[in-house]
Chain A
Amino acid sequence: MRDQELDAILSREQDIAPSSGFVASVMEAVGQQATTPPPIPFPWLRALPGIAAIAVALGVLLVTAFGVIAREPTAQPTFLELQAVLATTLELAKTIRAGWLALALAISFVCVKLSTHLAATSENR
């Protein structure tokens, strides 16, 4: 097959005409878009302290866990040792009140989700 043939066939593609209601449909969608308020962005700035606290807690947890394992490098960590690590972690979580932090973050997340959902629902009515 020659290039000219290929060019000829691919160049004589038949155009289709958009349906009669296409412009109206686009303009309706644009109208809706214009009246829709911009989405509420996730409050990253407010969530930052919580995220930082979680990151620190995770870091401390990892360091503690590695510290326990490194004390006896040749032996495999036994069930009791793992239990001890878990107990230390829980103790640490209590100290930094990780539960409250997690709860606060969860409540913030639910509030944001709920408000964006309510805003979207009221716009669609």
Chain B
Amino acid sequence: MTAADDQADVEKVIAGDISAFEGLVRRWQGPLVNLAYRFCRDRGRAEEMAQEAFLRTYRSLSGWRRESTFSTWLFALATNLYCSELRRIPARTSALDDIVEPRDPRAMDETYEAEDRDRLVHRAVFALPAKYREAVILFYFHDLDVAEAAASLGLPQGTVKARLSRGRDMLRRKLSPHFAAPELGREAS
């Protein structure tokens, strides 16, 4: 998967060879579907949103000004679509306060398997307010790269860092009661 391949396919599509678009879809279907899935947690809807993102990409190909790589432009377009789509029809989320806090955190820590912990954390991310959730999702989707997340969101890096920090604070505060007290102690020391 190279930027040169993307550029070559884009040139062909713009010249009228629609079949060249298939190369772009094959290369980017995984990332686009997965990004959509992280936003909505619904496989069917993720594929629908990714398909719409590809359609928009096709319609806007001539608008790609080559100032950034094709992938950066593609992710920005898809992120914009996913965010507005989820604002239009929100995914099924639970409010952050709806996550039940355990009476005895230590007891919960013993019983939580890793899978349950992961699920709980993802649920908490999903319950964050949209602007923090979007920053958190994109930061981890782009392998902890703030610059890439900022480019996808079309926001300055400073804004994304601030949202990320606030989002993680909210997550820590909400999730702390679910995890063992000794870990919190270790963190403080």
Query: Do A and B belong to a common assembly?
Result: yes
**Chain A positions near chain B (C-beta within 8 angstroms):** 1-3, 5-7, 9-13, 15-19, 22-23, 25-27, 29-31, 33-34
Total A-B contacts with CB atoms under 8 angstroms apart: 87
A33 & B172 in contact (Cβ 8 Å cutoff): no
Contact between A6 and B21, CB atoms less than 8 A apart: no
- Contact check: which of A6, A12, A22 meets B47 at CB < 8 Å? A22
The residue of chain B having its C-beta at the shortest distance from the C-beta of A17 within the complex is B30
Pair B58/A33 contact, Cβ less than 8 Å: yes
For the complex formed, measure the closest distance between the CB of B110 and the CB atoms of chain A, giving whole angstroms: 16
Interface, chain B (partner A; CB < 8 A): 18-19, 21-22, 25-26, 29-30, 33-34, 37-38, 43, 46-47, 50-51, 54-55, 58-59, 117-118, 121-122, 125, 136, 140, 143-144, 168, 171-172, 175-176, 178-179, 183-184, 186-187
> 16 A-B Cβ contacts within 8 A?
A1-B172, A1-B176, A1-B184, A1-B187, A10-B121, A10-B136, A10-B140, A11-B140, A16-B34, A16-B46, A23-B22, A26-B29, A26-B54, A29-B54, A34-B18, A34-B58
| The one of A11, A17, A25 that contacts B143, using a Cβ cutoff of 8 Å | A11
Main secondary structure of the interface of A (DSSP, over half): helix
